[in-house]
Each structure stands twice: as C-alpha cells, then as structure tokens.
Structure 1
Amino acid sequence: MSKQDNFRKQVKSFYGILVISFAMVLLIGVLGVIYMMDPSVFSSKKDTPNSEVVDVDPDEDWDKIENGIHLRTGFKDGEGLMTVVNNCTNCHSAQLVIQNRMNEERWIETIRWMQKTQNLWDLGDNEKVIVNYLVTNYPPKSKGRREALTNIEWYPLEQ
C-alpha cells in the first residue's frame, strides 16, 4: 500500500469519526431542547411528581399485605412499614432499599448522603422509625454474596 493510499484511508477514518461526533452532538442538542420544553417526555412517571404510575384496581386494597409482604413494594411487614414506603419509594424503587442491607450506622450515613447530595428532605421523627424498620428487616447478611452450594452431584470432566 502506498503512502498516498494510507493517507487517504486515514483521512476517510478521520472524516467518519468527525461525522459521527457531529451527529451525536446534534442528537444530544435536540434531546436537550425537547427536555427543556417538556421534561415529562423522558419520565416514566406521567401522573404527578414523586408518584409512580401503577395500574390498580380501585376495589383492591392499595397497601395489601400477604404472607408478611407488602405486595406493591415487596417490603416485609413490620412496624414502620408505611413510613418507609411513604418516604423511600418517592425517589427510588423499594428493591434498591431491599438489596442494600446495612447496620444502623450505615443506614444513617446513607440517609445523610441522600440529604446532602440527592435533595432528601429532613425526615424529622420519621428518621428513627425508618432506621429501626430497616435495621430490623434488612440488616447486613454475614453469608457473603451467595450461600454455599449443597446437595450437588459432582462428576469428573472427561478430556
């Protein structure tokens, strides 16, 4: 391959990258303008701010608990459940809370972090209720990431 062909190839590659970059900047700009005109276009929540849109039969109990589980959120039933539901699920899913098992100190640190960086409001007297519920129902697990495998039939690998 001659130097001239190599140069043409490099120029083509450069122009390709330039065109893709321009297209991306243009797309981001258009999406930004659309967002500034109507932020709800990009939201999965179409009802009111801080509320999830969930199809609920009006005849059913909105906060029904079966087998010790709050059906709408998956939280365990316990003292302080509705305080947690009303304060925590306004901003994020219940699953985010459930998967983050912590001790009292870490739950409080997480609340402070959310207040400092995520605009979480002052919980007042509810903070103690929330932390007690979380420590009681979602404490740290000492098992690790998964339980040890049991009742396994091992077999030799043939080569």
Structure 2
Amino acid sequence: MEPSQKFEQSARAISRMMGMIFALFMVMGAFLVYLMIDPTFSAFRPDPKVDTVAVATVEEDDYDKIENGIHVRTGFVEGEGLMTVVNNCTNCHSAKLVTQNRMSADRWRATIKWMQETQNLWDLGKNEDIIVTYLATYYAPEKKGRRPNLENIEWYALEQ
C-alpha cells in the first residue's frame, strides 16, 4: 500500500470518528435542550409503582441506633468507647476495615501510630486509650485453630 493510500485511509477513519463524536454531542445537546424546556422529563419523576414509604432512610434519631448490641450504621459492637471509635475511626475509612481486623492492644496501638506517621491521622490524645481499650476488647485476636475432631462417626472401609 502506498503512503498516499495509507494517508487517505487514516483520514477517512479520523473523519468517521469525528463524525461519531459530533453526532454524540448533538444528541446530548438536544437532550439537554429538551430538559431545559421540559424539566419534568419522565425519567426524573418518581415511579408511582414504587412505595416511597418502604425506602429506608436514616433519620436523625436513628443515626446512632443500637439494635441487638450492634451499632446499626457501622456494625460495631455496643460497648464503652463505641462513639469515640465511631467518631475517630470512621472519619477516614469504613468501619468494615476495623471490624475485619483482630489485634491485641499493642498491635492496635502500633496500627494507630502507623496511621499517624503515614496516613496523617491526628493526635488522638486521651481518646487513644479509650479507642485501644474498645478495639482490644471487642476486636481481639480469636484463637480458632483447626476444626474440632470428628466424633460419633460411623466409619466404613472403602472397597477397591
């Protein structure tokens, strides 16, 4: 293929792409003009078939609600120091990041120190002891080990 043919082929491809982009902008522009003329476009109207009462919303009173010993919004276990943990830990990350970890008090302190040194965590002051005590109490390491031995099993020999 000659260079002039390659150039023509490239030019046609670029022209088609520019045409598609232009068409897209025209369609989007027409849609925006339609929305300016008729802002009650049906896509923005609530569906009458949907029960808006059933939609869950967090009310001011329910924001720090405790159900069955669990802080509903975060999933933290209810206990002394809960709100201090919520107010300090969930400002930067999800509560799930905390609840998925299990550490001793020393490891929680080391993690807090690491966050202060590398993640710009502020000085917790007297709250650090409250937070570490809470976390070490409710999110301490669990000794799971292996599954328990099987008991009351009727064993049989495999035939070959």
Please confirm whether the aligned pair reaches a TM-score higher than 0.5, indicating the same fold.
yes
Report how far residue 142 of structure 1 moved. 1.0
Cα distance change, pair 138–147 in 1 and its aligned pair in 2 (3 A): farther
1:92, 1:147 → 2: CA distance?
33
Measure the CA separation in 2 of the matches of 1:138 and 1:158: 48
Q: For each residue in 1:78-97, what CA deviation from the matched residue of structure 2 results, as whole angstroms up to 9, or x when unmatched? A: 00000000000111111111
In the alignment, the residues of structure 2 paired with residue 60 and residue 147 of structure 1 have an alpha-carbon distance, to the nearest angstrom, of 43
Q: Kindly indicate whether residue 75 of structure 2 is the aligned counterpart of residue 74 of structure 1.
A: yes
In structure 2, the partner of 1:138 is: 139
Name the Cα RMSD after superposition: 2.6
* Contact persistence 1:75–1:98 (CA under 8 A): yes
Residue 89 of structure 1 aligns to which amino acid in structure 2? T
Structure 1 residues 140 and 61 mapped into 2: Cα distance closer, same or farther (>3 Å)?
same
Cα deviation 1:12-54 (Å, max 9, x = unaligned): xxxxxxxxxxxxxxxxxxxxxxxxxxxxxxxxxxxxxxxxxxx
Return 5+ residue gaps in structure 1 as ranges: 1-54
Q: How has the CA–CA distance of structure 1 residues 150 and 75 changed in structure 2, closer, same or farther, with 3 Å as cutoff?
A: farther
Deviations, residues 52-71 of structure 1 (Å, cap 9, x unaligned): xxx73336410100100000
Contact 1:78–1:133 at 8 Å: present in 2 too? yes
Identity of aligned residues (%): 66
* Structure having the higher Rg: 2
Q: Residues of 1 paired with 2:61 and 2:73: CA distance?
A: 11
Q: Match of 2:95?
A: 94
TM-score, structure 1 as length reference:
0.56
- For residue 103 of structure 1, report the CA deviation from its aligned partner: 0.5
| CA gap 1:64/1:109 in 2 versus in 1, 3 angstroms | same
Structure 1's consecutive aligned runs of 4 or more residues displaced over 6 angstroms after TM superposition are 153-159
Instruction: Classify 1:59/1:89 alpha carbon distance in 2 versus 1 (closer, same or farther; 3 Å).
Output: closer
| Count of aligned pairs | 104
| Structure 2: gaps spanning 5 or more residues | 1-55
